[in-house]
Amino acid sequence: MLQIENVNTHYGQIQALHDVSIEIRQGEIITLIGANGAGKTTLMMTICGDPKASSGKIVFEGEELEHCNTPEIMRKGLAIVPEGRRVFSSMTVEENLSMGAYFRTKEQAEETVQYVLKLFPRLEERFKQRAGTMSGGEQQMLAIGRALMSRPRLLLLDEPSLGLAPIIIKQIFDIIERLRDEGVTIFLVEQNANQALRIADRAYVLENGRIVKTDTGANLLTDESVQKAYLGG
């Protein structure tokens, strides 16, 4: 579904990604773990076209993305939940969701709102409330819901567990698994390696801008070096 082949990304003179190759197949949850500054978010942003990859190929459903600009890429059937939630805080939940369906018809949007509200009943309770007045967990749900409003086939999640209570994190991960079961392919970037690897079909480990390991989620959970570096074992 999404192939990333030998991608290099630079911030000015500094190279953030070195020959990164990742393959995401239809219906999988792929997790990317790595320490702070390893280049996880950079990789995600490179998929979205900002910053652009300086070399390499990014192919989504047979289409090359590396020459498209961000708004074009974001309308091709993939959606991103950016790091740190970033909901529109002075807008209501309803308006936030409708922003997510900006490029779709009203009927499609209404249908998807119902779908999202069924996925996150919490949002229905807060439908007319301003997003800024909600708790962190609710905002994260809203951010995911907003991304789902474009009915993406591939969902990129950048640290959805950031700053949330363990019980909320569990709920969020449950939702992610449910989305996968409904056919949405998921690419998950996480610091919370333990939980992220548990739900992953396959996972990649990123270190200093290089992919150093790839295996199934379960295998990586028991891998000694991964345990040492990311799981505190």
Partner 1 sequence: MNSSKLYNAVFAAGISFILACLMIGVKLDTDSTVLAVKGATAEQWAWIIGGIAVVFLSQLFSTQVDALFRAIPKPDIQALLPQQQKFATLKPWLIAAIIVVMMIWPFMVSRGSVDLATLTLIYIMLGLGLNIVVGLAGLLDLGFVAFYAVGAYTYALLSQYFGMSFWACLPISAGLAATFGFLLGFPVLRLRGDYLAIVTLGFGEIIRILLNNWTSLTGGPNGISGIAKPTLFGLEFNRRAKEEGAMTFHEYFDMDYSSSYKVIFLYLIAVLLVICVIYLINRLMRMPIGRAWEALREDEIACRSLGLNRTAIKLSAFTLGASTAGFAGCFFAARQGFISPESFIFIESAIILAIVVLGGMGSQMGIIFAAIIMTILPELAREFSEYRMLLFGLLMVVMMRWRPQGLVPMKRPNLELKQQ
| Interface ranges with partner 1 (CB under 8 A) | 48, 50, 70-71, 73-75, 79-82, 86-92, 94-95, 98-100, 102-103, 128-130, 146-147, 150
Query: 45 or 221, CB closer to partner 1?
Result: 45
48-62 burial code (b ≥16 CB/10 A, e <16): bbeebbeebebebee
Task: Give min distance, CB of 4 to partner 1, in A.
Answer: 19
Q: Which is nearer to partner 1, 157 or 196 (CB)?
A: 157
Query: What radius of gyration do the chain's Cα atoms show?
Result: 17
Q: How far is the CB of 85 from partner 1 (least distance, A)?
A: 9
CB of 82 to partner 1, least distance (A): 5
For the record, the structure tokens of 41 come out as 């978010």
Q: Let me know: does 24 contact 1? Beta carbons within 8 Å.
A: yes
Q: Specify the residue, 9 or 150, whose C-beta has the smaller distance to partner 1.
A: 150
Question: Closer to partner 1 at the Cβ: 185 or 195?
Answer: 185
Do 145 and 119 contact (CB within 8 A), yes or no? yes
- Residues 89 and 131: beta-carbon distance below 8 Å: yes
Name the minimum Å distance from CB 133 to partner 1: 10
Check residue 232 and report its DSSP letter. -
